[in-house]
Amino acid sequence: MEDNETNTSETMSPFEKAYSTNHGCRLCPRACNAKRGEGTRGYCGAGRELRLARAALHHWEEPCISGTRGSGAVFFSGCPLGCCFCQNYKISHEGFGLEITEDRLAEIFLSLQEQGAHNINLVTATPYTDAVLRVLDRLRGKSLMIPIVWNSSGYERLETLKRLSGYIDIYLPDFKYADAARAKRYSYAEDYPETALSAILEMQRQTGKYVLGEDGILRRGTVVRHLVMPGGRRDSIQVMEELAAHFERDDILVSLMSQYTPCYKSCDYPELNRRVTTFEYESVCDVLTAYGFEGYYQEKSSAKEEYTPPFDLEGVIK
């Protein structure tokens, strides 16, 4: 190497190395070490380029996220988890999407803002963390003025979350399981319970207590989602207990969901091949209410496949 040459490997951040040809990807807890810069796909299914499946106003998030005009939901392809019941399996497991440039992603963010979106809602963006941050560096506080939402399975690596500090206004994580055996059986992630709890603690540390505007729209904060599943009532109650043990009542909002619908590979698990009963869901609601958290409850009518958005490249193709 000549004296005037720079060893770029030594000057790279860990997150830049995730995309280089000499280092493997460790953005998520799988730490699969895939050399994505060489074209190898990671455990999540993501490769070298950004891949999106949909970018449009979305009206089916929590009221404080969707508001009256909709959330600017940007659906990325791929996912670090392997949930057998995933409603978004077309993009999370099957990899549907279109490869785009960072310039195009910037255009999409600005277009959603122009359409009236209350926020930019990044859905499962973890595999593309560096590209997203580079785009936000260009736009945020300049031409992009609305809050940024990190919509996540909760299965996040602390090192990656810390890189997001200062960029994300609102975290919208799942807290799927407190039981490691269920996490292993249904999402192939035995470490999910402790990993997600640590991630949510870091998210709330970054956002602080939630802040709602006079219009009811969330300006800053963490909203923890939990999906009640068939046969999972006791695990759901344990999730509520974990939240109560680690957070003050005004630290977070909690969204308790009843929308589980058997799909994808649910039929391979007989205990999951049905919808949640009223007793299962309401008994978890009672526990959450007793703990005094503010948040949201879903109607049982939400358990419909039409609540899953169509992944048809809307807003991705010019």
Residue 285 lies in a domain: yes
Q: How confident is the model over 289-304, as pLDDT tens digits?
A: 999 999 999 986 555 5
Which residue segment(s) compose the domain that 95 sits in?
A: 50-307
Q: What CATH code is carried by the domain that includes residue 295?
A: 3.20.20.70
Which of these ranges, 82-96, 144-158, 161-175, 295-309, has the smallest mean pLDDT? 295-309
* Contact status, residue 227 vs residue 239, Cβ threshold 8 Å: no
Residue 222 lies in a domain: yes
* Contact status, residue 101 vs residue 86, Cβ threshold 8 Å: no
* Contact status, residue 127 vs residue 76, Cβ threshold 8 Å: yes
Q: For the chain, give the percent of residues with pLDDT over 70.
A: 91
**What domain count does the chain have?**
1
C-alpha 87, offset from chain centre:
14
- Please tell me the number of Cα atoms within 13 Å of 59 on its side-chain side: 4
Residue 315 lies in a domain: no
* Contact status, residue 151 vs residue 88, Cβ threshold 8 Å: no
Q: Among candidates 93, 113, 100, 111, which has minimal Cα distance to 153? A: 93
Residue 40 lies in a domain: no
Q: Which residues contact 43 (CB under 8 A, 6 or more apart)?
A: 28, 30, 32, 34, 80
Cα three-residue angle 40-42-47, rounded to 5 degrees: 55
Q: Are strands 170-173 and 218-227 parallel, antiparallel or unpaired?
A: parallel
d(C-alpha 308, C-alpha 58), whole Å: 10
- Is a pLDDT exceeding 60 seen at residue 10? no
* Contact status, residue 200 vs residue 206, Cβ threshold 8 Å: no
Please give the pLDDT value at position 85: 96
Identify the band that residue 5 occupies on the pLDDT scale cut at 50, 70 and 90.
very low
Please give the pLDDT value at position 20: 44
In degrees and rounded to multiples of 5, residue 114 shows phi and psi of -65, -30
Q: Which residues contact 175 (CB under 8 A, 6 or more apart)?
A: 154, 196, 197, 200, 224, 225, 226, 239, 242, 243
Residue 37 lies in a domain: no
> Where does 188-277 have alpha helices with state H?
192-207, 233-246
Q: How confident is the model over 17-37, as pLDDT tens digits?
A: 554 445 799 999 999 999 999
Q: Among candidates 26, 274, 59, which has minimal Cα distance to 159? A: 26
d(C-alpha 183, C-alpha 306), whole Å: 26
Residue 41 lies in a domain: no
Residue 134 lies in a domain: yes
pTM value?
0.92
Q: Map residue 205 onto helix, strand or coil.
A: helix
Residue 282 lies in a domain: yes
Please give the pLDDT value at position 112: 98
d(C-alpha 175, C-alpha 68), whole Å: 26
